A and B are shown apart, each in its own frame.
Chain A
Amino acid sequence: MSDNRPLRWFLYGYLALVFTFVFAPILFSVIFSFNSDRFPTIPLGSFTLKWYQTVWNDPDVWEAARTSLTVSLSTATIATLLGFATAYTDYRYSFRLKPIYLGLVLLPPTIPLIIMALAMLAWFAKLGISGQVMSIIIAHSVLTAPFAMAIIRLRLSQMDPSLESAAWNLGASQWSALRRVIVPFCRPAIISSFCLTAAVSFDEFAISWFVAGLNKTIPVIILEIVTGNIDPQVNAIGSFVFLVSMTLVIIAQVVLMTRRKKEV
């Protein structure tokens, strides 16, 4: 295309503006978490750690952090196991009802969370397992398994299909070929799918809010504080949540990238 400089710079400027829009709320939330005013505005008040102290000394927050941790680690484990099994099935076998099979696996993220929340609430009540930490874990696994499946499936499609058959021909059973060829090859994808599903589960609030009963997760605590009034505690909790999620996302990304580099 012709080199139209003013247009090019206009587009770069526009891109910068869009990124500002995307990151402004995250940035301001971190800034406000250190700001002394109850209702933060410009000019900023003085630097303070009092919101962090309030949060640190709140036993409800600690309880919620424990619940959140349990939920996201369990969810990540279940979702990654399910995702791996499904990705492997899709990679290796073809069968008649496969489109339906894949639809069943991949559809949950397209259903609005609020609808899933209501459906899960009613269904768990019917089964008699509502209001427990387990209910959140089950619901989150349904929601995140498709992500795990997609990440691991992408990795499998980079694999030379003859590797597994070679292992069989050399006398390996299906199980040991899986354990010694497929799983090691997928390890980076398995680790990053574990981190990403944990991060999604750690931030999810609608379903947790509906099905959790008295077991509140961190996002549910945030939701309740926000519903009450303007309270900068939210920014402090939010910055903490952001830190956790970002760590998980960066680990996931780094694991995927370094492996790729090594192989090239």
Chain B
Amino acid sequence: MSDSTPAKAASSAARQSSVFKLTFRLPIIIWQSLFFIGPLCFMVAMSFFIVRNYRMQEDFVMKNWLKMLGRDYFWDSYFLTWGLAGIGTVVTMLVAFPAAYTLAFKVSETVRRWAIFMLIIPFFTSYLVRIFSWYVILAESGVINAGLSYLGLGPFVMLNTKFGTVVGYMTLTLPLVIILQTFALANIDKSLVEAAFNLGCRPFRTIYRVILPMARTGLIIAAVFCFILSFGDFVSPYYLGGSKPPTLPILIVDTVKSGQQWPRAAVVAVVMMVTLFVVAFAGIMAAYRRRVG
């Protein structure tokens, strides 16, 4: 489409047109540079600042990096966060798949649309309140254990465990993952699935050999989002996981809220961002790689 209207005074029209164009193009560039790129760059710079007498001074020293990366507890946190987010992602993807499969292949268009609308609702409810609710449900004298005691079972300890953390992560990620998986599955060519079936391919083999490869891109994107959300969440590991040892996001909260050690928190945040960038990049490469064979 052309930028300018056909007009007699071409130069004045062109000027007006470029004013019009920039009115729509510039605001977001200015806004995001000032308040998105700016803060992130400043945070990277801040990881080299120094704190003297409880005051941060602009500087360029490696001290914070050496101090954080040289400590065992940092690496404990790092691998714990990886492990929890990894387990959370695998469990969420597996739990979501049969649900997404049902929504994509076994229900009508209308049911699918309603189901997806229902799954959007949790995004707009308070994550904190839902986690608090899980706390009460999972507690040793909570709803689940009270229910199980009627059957003569339990009580099971579910709070302050990895199980609790993963339940929390899933509260955050499961609806999103089901939605993304459903889109990925609903978009594949159904006649190919039927062809495999008619040629005598067994259901699980059909899923493995036909459906999964065709839906790969969408599925990997779902997993990447799931991992990013879990990796960056401080609420679940704190309230449901017991935070001992802390995960990286909890480390950031503690460092900022109790110690005024912003530069050290910045080191943790930069390490997290680099990690997530690598994961996302690897995911995208895997998602769009040409299929082999």
Contacts and interface: CB of A to CB of B under 8 A. Distances in A.
Interface centre among B21, B28, B143, B269 (most CB of A within 10 A): B28
Main secondary structure of the interface of B (DSSP, over half): helix
Would you call the interface of chain A mostly helix, strand, loop, or mixed? helix
Contact of B119 (A8, A22, A173): A22
B136 A88 contact: no
Interface residues of B, number: 92
A41 B141 contact: yes
B39 A116 contact: yes
Interface stretch (A26-34, A45-53, A59-67, A183-191): A26-34
Interface in A207-264: 210, 219, 222-223, 226, 230, 234-235, 237-238, 241-242, 245-246, 248-249, 253
Nearest to A97: B29
B35 A105 contact: no
A76 interface: no
A161 B1 CA distance: 9
A1 B194 CA distance: 6
Interface string A122-145: 110010000000000011011001
Contacts, number: 242
Nearest to B45: A122
A21 B119 CA distance: 11
B286 interface: no
Contacts of B42: 119, 122-123, 126
B127 interface: yes
Interface of B: 1, 3, 5-6, 16-17, 20-21, 23-25, 27-29, 31-33, 35-40, 42-43, 46, 95-96, 98-99, 101-103, 105-106, 115, 117-137, 139, 141-143, 146-147, 170-171, 174-175, 178, 193-194, 197, 203, 225, 228-229, 231-234, 239, 249, 252-253, 256, 262, 265-266, 269, 272-273, 276, 280
